[in-house]
Amino acid sequence: MTGHPGALERAVPLLRCPQCTEPVAAHTNTPSPGVAGPRGARDPGAGITGIRCAAGHSFDRARHGYLTLFGPRGRRFPGDTTDQILARERVQGCGVFDTVAAVLTGIAREQFVGTVRPVGTPADSRLAGPGGSRVDSPTAGPAGSRTVGSGPVVLDVGAGTGFYLRRVLDGVRAVGGPGRAVGAQSPLGIGTELSVAAARRLAKTDPDAVALVTDTWDALPLADESVDLVQVVFAPRNVSEFARILRPGGILVVAGPGPGHLEPLRSDVGMLTAEPDKADRLESGLAGSFTPGRAHVVDESVRVSGAVATDLALMGPSGVHLDRGDLERSLGSADREIRVHVEVRTFRPAR
C-alpha cells in the first residue's frame, strides 16, 4: 500500500465521519515488524487500513494510499480527468507556477513563524520569515501559541496533484531549521480532491501529507477548529465549511486567476474564460465569515515551449473541450510568452 500512513495516523483525530460527523478511529492490521516509513524509521501508521466511526460507518484506505470520504450524497462529479492531471503535472514540473508557489509558501511561513521551531529554541527567538527576511515570532497569529510538539495543520482544498501543498509543507518545515525534531513538530498536510487520478498522486506527494477523496460542496470530513491554514488554488470553495474547520487565529488563502491570466494563449486557442476572482466578488462571498487581509499579485511573463503551451490549455476547465491534436498543430513547437497573472488573497475568520 502506498501513501504516507504516518501522516494518516496523525490526521485521524482530526477526521470526522462524512456520513454522521462523529469522530473516527483507525482500523488496522498488524504491521510487520520493522516496516520502514518514508523517513527510514518504522512508520507508526503503516498498518492503517481505513477508518470507522462508532456508528459503524467504515472507509477503507485505497491501495494507492488515499481515503475516500463521501457524505450521504455520495460522488456526484468525477473531478479532473487523468489527461488534465498529467498535463498540469508537466506544466507545474517545469516551473511555470513557481512564483505562485513561493507566494503561498511565504504566507504559510509567516503564519507559522514561532509555531514550528527547533527544539530548545525559546518561543520569542527570531526566526527566518518569508523571503529569508528576519521577523519577530510574536508577529505570528494566535496559532503561534500552539503547544510545542503539535505541528500546524495545512488543508489544501481541490489540491490536484499536491504541487502547492508540498511546496508549502517544505517551506513550513524550513522555518523549523535543522535542529527541529522530525516528526514531533512536523506540519500536517491534508489534501482533498474529487479526482481519483489526482488523489493517487496527492497521496504520494509528501511524507507529512494525507489525501482525501471528498467533495468540497459537501461537509468537509474534518472536526470543528481543526485546521490552521486552508488554501484553495484555482479550485471550488465552501465558505461556511472553511469557517467551521479553521481554528481561531487561522488563515484562509485563496488563489485565483487575474484578468490577464494565460494571455495571449487563452484568446488564441479559445480557452474558456474563467470569471476572474475579482476582489469585491470574492470578499462579498466571504463577508460575515471572514475579514480580508493582505493581497498579493503574481504578474509575470513566462517563456514556454509549444508542448507546455498545449498542456497549459489542456490542464484547466477547457481541457475537456479542446483537442490535443488540433492544439499541437496550431501551437507548433516554438517558444512563446505567456502571462501568469494570479491573485492570492488572505482572509481571517471573523469570530
Ligand X SMILES: C[S@@+](CC[C@H](N)C(=O)[O-])C[C@H]1O[C@@H](n2cnc3c(N)ncnc32)[C@H](O)[C@@H]1O
Distance CA 341, CA 273 (A): 13
Beta bridge partners of 251: 229
Locate 327 and state its grid cell.
Answer: 492544439
User: Binding to ligand X by residue 179, rule CB under 6 A?
Assistant: no
Residues 6+ apart with CB under 8 A from 320: 81, 84
Choose which of 65, 158, 171, 250 interacts with ligand X (CB under 6 A).
158
User: Binding to ligand X by residue 194, rule CB under 6 A?
Assistant: yes
User: Binding to ligand X by residue 169, rule CB under 6 A?
Assistant: no
Tell me the closest approach of the beta carbon of residue 21 to ligand X, in angstroms.
18
**Residue 90: Cβ-neighbour burial (10 angstroms; 0-12, 13-18, 19+):** middle
Q: Cβ closer to ligand X: 170 or 177?
A: 170
Residues 6+ apart with CB under 8 A from 151: 115, 116, 172, 185, 186, 187, 188, 208
- Residues 234-293 touching ligand X, rule: CB under 6 A, are 234-236
Choose which of 9, 43, 80, 343 interacts with ligand X (CB under 6 A).
80
> What are the CA-CA distances from residue 292 to residues 103, 142, 251, 279 (Å)?
17, 17, 10, 9
Q: Which stretch binds ligand X (CB under 6 A): 27-35, 191-199, 294-302, 338-346?
A: 191-199
User: Binding to ligand X by residue 154, rule CB under 6 A?
Assistant: no
103-142 footprint of ligand X as x/- string (CB under 6 A): ----------------------------------------
Residues 6+ apart with CB under 8 A from 120: 179
Contact at 8 Å (CB) between 81 and 197?
Answer: yes
Choose which of 105, 195, 226, 318 interacts with ligand X (CB under 6 A).
195
User: Binding to ligand X by residue 95, rule CB under 6 A?
Assistant: no
196-235 footprint of ligand X as x/- string (CB under 6 A): --x----------------xxx---------------xxx
User: Binding to ligand X by residue 79, rule CB under 6 A?
Assistant: yes
User: Binding to ligand X by residue 159, rule CB under 6 A?
Assistant: yes
Task: Give CA angle at 168 (163, 173), nearest 5°.
Answer: 130
Of the candidates 55, 46, 64, the one whose C-alpha atom is nearest the C-alpha of residue 7 is 46
List of residues contacting ligand X (CB under 6 A): 77, 79-80, 88, 158-160, 163-164, 192-195, 198, 215-217, 233-236, 316
